[in-house]
Amino acid sequence: MKRILSVLVFLLSGMTMFAQNCYWVFFTDKNNTTFDPYSYFDVKAIERYQLNKLNLYDISNYPVNERYTDAVNALTEENVGVSRWLNAQAVMASEAQIDAVKQLPFVAGVQLIATEAMLAQVPVATKSEDVEVFDATLKQVALMQGEKFQARNINGKGVRIAVFDGGFPEVDTHPAFKHLRDNHQIVKTWNFANKKENVYGFNSHGRMVLSCIAGIMNDTTMLGLAPGAEFLLARTEVEAEKLKEEVWWVQALEWADQNGAHIVSSSLGYGEDLHDLKDMDGKTSIVAKGASMAASKGILVCTAMGNEGDDKTWKMLVTPADVEGVLSVGAVSSLETMESYSSFGPTADGRRKPNVVACGNDMVAASRGNYHHYQGTSFATPMVSGFAACVKQMHPEYTATQLLEAIEKSGNHYPYYDYAFGYGVPQAGYFTDGPQAAKHSFDLMEDEKYLYIVPVNPYENLKVFYNYQNGDGSISDYFVVKFLTDKIVTSKSSFRIDKSDLENGQTVNIWYNDQYAKYVVGKDKVAAADSVVRENVTISKGDFGCGSSNKKPSKDIYIKKHNIYSGNLVLNVSFMVPSMWTSAGNIHQAQRVSRSFSFSYVNNWQLAKVYGLGFRIGFGSSWYALQNYQNPNPSYTLPAFAYNDDYELRKYNLKTSQFDLEIYQRFILANVSSSKLYLETGVFGDWITGSRQKIKAVAGYDKITEVNKHFYRNGLNKLDCGVRVRIGFTKFCALYGQYRITPILKNGIDLPKWEVGIQIF
C-alpha cells in the first residue's frame, strides 16, 4: 500500500510540475529593431494614419526583438503568438519554465492568461422557417432607417471592415454573399489558430454575423447595411483553445491595422467566467488594452455589450465593451423596448456604456443556403458596424473619434442617455436629411411636491424615458414608463415625479416622442438643451392637480444600476437528528426525528465572480419530539395522570416559534446552464418568541392529551446560535446542514443539535 501511495504522489507531483499554462511575456524594449511603414502597411492603412494625424513610425508599430523571442522560445513549449503593440510574446509553459523566463534580463514581466471568449449570441436562438420571399424591408434595417441609405446608394463602398469570429463556413458558397465573391470584396483572410488563410469552416457564428453587415437575401433584401464594403475575415476563436483566444484577438487587431481596416466588428466578450466586475474598467483586461490601442490607431472598434442582462450576479457589460473610444452595442426589439438579455452599463469606473443599441433579433444567413432568425448582441453589433460603414462612406473625412460621436448623435434618443439604451438606435435620417426639429410632445409643470410630465396628446400609448443625473454626469436611476390608454383621459393627464426622491443639484433628463428636456432640481426652469436636435421646454409654476388620471409606472421599467446583489423569498424545510445521549434520572433524548420549517428573505451581494456575502432573515417553527419523558423543570408540576401507573406517556412535543438571522459567505463553484452551483458557510442566531408543550398519555383504549402553553417560560433560553453549511443551485434549491451550539433548555435535557434540510426558491 505504501508503495502504491508513493507512486501516486510521484505522478501527481509530476503532473503539477509539467502542467502547461498560457502566459504573456512582456519585454523591456525594442532595441535593435527597424521598421518601414510603407512596406508594412496597406495603402488604406497609411491613408487612415494620415487622416487621424498619427505617427506611422510610432514605437508600437516596430516589431518585437527576435533575439528576445528566440530566447523565450528556447525555454518554453510553444510560441502562441507575438504582439507588436504590447511588446510581448504569448507562450505555453510549465511553472518551472516560466520561472526561468522571468530571469531573462530583457523580460519586464509575466502574466498568466486565464481568459475565455464568449460569443455574444443568446444560447437558445429563435429560429424561423426557411425564407423564400421577403419583399418588405427587414425590421433590423428599418429600425435604423436603412432604406434612407439605400435610396442614396449608400452601402459602405470603399470602407474596409475587419470581422473577428470563430469561423465563416459557407461564406465562400452561400448565396447571401455572392456579391462579395463576384466583386472580390473579401480582401484578405487569416486563420490565427491554424496560421493559414482558410477561414471558411468551423463556427457558423461568423457567417451569421457577416450577413448582418453585408448579406443580401434572395438577391433583393438586405440583411445588413453595408453590402458594398470590403472585408478582412479573421478566425480568432476556437472552442478547444480557450486560453489562446485572447492572444489571437489582439494579433487580429494588429493584422487589421496593417491591412487598412477602418472598422472592426467583434461580437464576443470576456466576462464573468474569468473576470471580476471591477475588471470592467476599460484598462485591466488584455483585450481592453488591445482595443484601446486600436482606437488610438484610428480604427472604430464595434463590439457587443454581452448577453448578461438576465444574469443577477453579473448584468454588467463584458470587456472590451468597457473601453473608452470603442463603440459598444446593446440589443433592442423596437425603438422603445430593450431585449432583457442585453447587458447594462456603466463600466466599473462609472463611464457611460452602451453607446448605442440596435435590433438584436435578426434574420441571418443560416446553413445550406437558408435564412433564420437568431438573437443576441452578437447580431446588433454588426448592424451598427454596417451603419458605421455607410456613415464613413458619406463622410470619408471623419476620424474614428468623429465617426463614433456622429453615430451617437444619430441615436433616436440623443441627447438623452441611460445605461440600458445608450443614446438609442442610430438613425440614417440624421445623415441623409440632417438634424430635425423635435415635436412638441409634452410640457413640464410643477408644484411644491411634484414635477409633472404632461403629454400634448394624452391618447398616445408611447413610453417616457427619464433619469436622475448627478453633478458628475453619472446616472443614479433611470426609468421607462407608459402613459396608459385603458380609459379616456383628460388634457391634464400626466406622469409625476416626486421631488422628495431628488437631491438638490440633480438633473432630471426626460425624453418622450422625439422631444428632450431637462430640469435641474432647485431651479425654476429647464436648462438649455440642444435646440438643433431637440426642442427646449419651459416649466409652468403653480397648482396642477392630476387627480385620478395621474399615471403610475407600467411594468416596463428599467432601473439603472448594475446590481451586484439579488434577493428572493425562500421556504426552508428541515429535520433534526436525535441524539442517543441519556442523562441521570433516566431522561432520554428524542428517538423520533424532529422537524422544522420557516419562510425567509435572502439577499446576496456578489462581490466578485466567485465570492459573495449575504444575509437571511426569517420566521419559522420547530417541533422537538421526546419520549420516555421525565420532568426536567422543577418549577412545573406534571398533570395528575402522569403519576398514575395505569397510564403510559407515549409522546411529548415541544413547539417553539423563532426569528432567524443568518450571515454567510458564498463561493461559486461552477456555472451549470443558466444557474450556478454554490457553497455557503455562515453563522446564525434564533430569537425564540414562544413555546408550548403537548403530552399524550395512553391507558388501554383511553387517550388523554394535555397542552400547556409557555411551559418553558422560565426554563427556556430565548437565544440560540450555531453554524450552517449550504450547497445548491441559485435558481432552484439548496441542501443545508446546521449545528446548534447553545442549549435551548436552561435545565435538564438538551434538544437535538444537528439539523439537515432543503431550501426551495
pLDDT digits (tens, 9 = 90+) for 638-674: 555 454 555 454 566 778 888 999 999 988 887 665 5
Q: Which H, E and C letters describe 594-607, residue by residue? A: EEEEEEEEEEEEEC
Domain match, 221 and 325 both: yes
- Torsion over CA of 270, 271, 273 and 274, rounded to 10 degrees? 70
Claim to verify: residue 512 and residue 570 sit in the same structural domain = no
Residues 456 and 440 sit within 8 Å (Cβ to Cβ) = yes
pLDDT at 109: 95
Residue 701 lies in a domain: no
> Reduced to 3 states, what is the DSSP secondary structure of residue 184?
coil
If 0-12 CB within 10 Å is exposed, 13-18 middle and 19+ buried, where does residue 39 land? exposed
Q: Measured in Å, how far apart are the chain's first and last C-alpha atoms?
A: 47
How far apart CA 352 and CA 325 sit, in angstroms, is 11
Cα separation, 589 vs 574, in Å, equals: 19
Q: Are residues 105 and 123 in the same domain?
A: no
Region of residue 628 (left: phi > 0; alpha: psi -120 to 50; beta: else)? left
Question: What is the rounded CA–CA span in Å between residue 236 and residue 163?
Answer: 10
- Residue-wise pLDDT tens digits, 299-355: 999 999 999 888 777 788 899 999 999 999 999 999 989 998 999 999 988 999 999
CB atoms within 10 A of CB 661: 15
Please tell me whether residues 65 and 170 are part of one structural domain: no
**CA dist list (Å): 242 to 116, 118, 266, 274, 725:** 5, 10, 16, 11, 34
CA 726, CA 738: separation in Å to the nearest integer? 9
pLDDT in tens, 200-236: 989 999 999 999 999 999 988 999 999 999 999 999 9
- Widest Cα–Cα separation across the chain: 111
CB atoms inside a 10 Å sphere around CB 36: 9
**294 CB contacts (<8 Å, ≥6 apart)?**
253, 256, 257, 264, 301
Would you say residue 258 lies in a domain? yes
More confident residue, 413 or 13: 413
pLDDT for res 748 = 54
Written as one string, the DSSP assignment of 539-565 is: EEES----GGG-B---S-----S---E
Q: Are residues 424 and 452 in the same domain?
A: no
If one counts every other C-beta atom within 10 angstroms of the C-beta of residue 642, the result is: 16
How much is the pLDDT for 703? Answer: 53
Map grid coordinates 436562438 to a residue: 125
The total number of structural domains that make up the chain: 4
Looking at the fold, whether 90 and 142 belong to one and the same domain comes out as no
Q: With pLDDT > 90 as the criterion, what percentage of the chain qualifies?
A: 47
Q: The domain that contains 380 carries what CATH number?
A: 3.40.50.200
Q: Specify whether 604 is located in the same domain as 474.
A: no
For residue 19, the model assigns a pLDDT of 64
Residue 93: its H or E element: strand 88-93
Same domain, 572 and 718: yes
The confidence score (pLDDT) of residue 444 equals 85
Q: How far apart are CA 44 and CA 258, in angstroms?
A: 9
Same domain for 350 and 254 = yes
Q: Which of 407, 432, 457 is the last residue before a domain boundary?
A: 432
2 falls within a domain: no
Separation CA 749–CA 301 (nearest Å): 72
Under the banding of pLDDT at 50, 70 and 90, the label for residue 564 is very low
pLDDT of 433 above 70: yes
Residue 560 lies in a domain: no
- What mean pLDDT value characterizes the chain? 80
Q: Distance between CA 156 and CA 185 in Å, rounded?
A: 11
Q: Is 385 within the bounds of a domain?
A: yes
Q: 631: which DSSP letter? A: -
Query: For position 680, which CATH number holds?
Result: 2.40.160
Q: Which of 398, 432, 466 is the last residue of a domain?
A: 432
Neighbours of 536 (CB within 10 A): 16
| β pairing state of 230-235 and 160-165 | parallel
Summarised one tens digit per residue, pLDDT across range 121-141 is 443 344 444 444 344 468 999
Say what the pLDDT of residue 330 is: 96
User: Domain containing 73: what range?
Assistant: 18-112
Cell of 655: 413547539
Between 25 and 489, the more confident residue is 25
709 is a domain residue: no
Q: Is residue 3 part of a domain?
A: no
667 shares a domain with 522: no
Can you give the pLDDT at residue 125? 41
- Does residue 743 share a domain with residue 671? yes
Whether residue 5 is contained in a domain is answered as no
> Is 185 in the same domain as 236?
yes
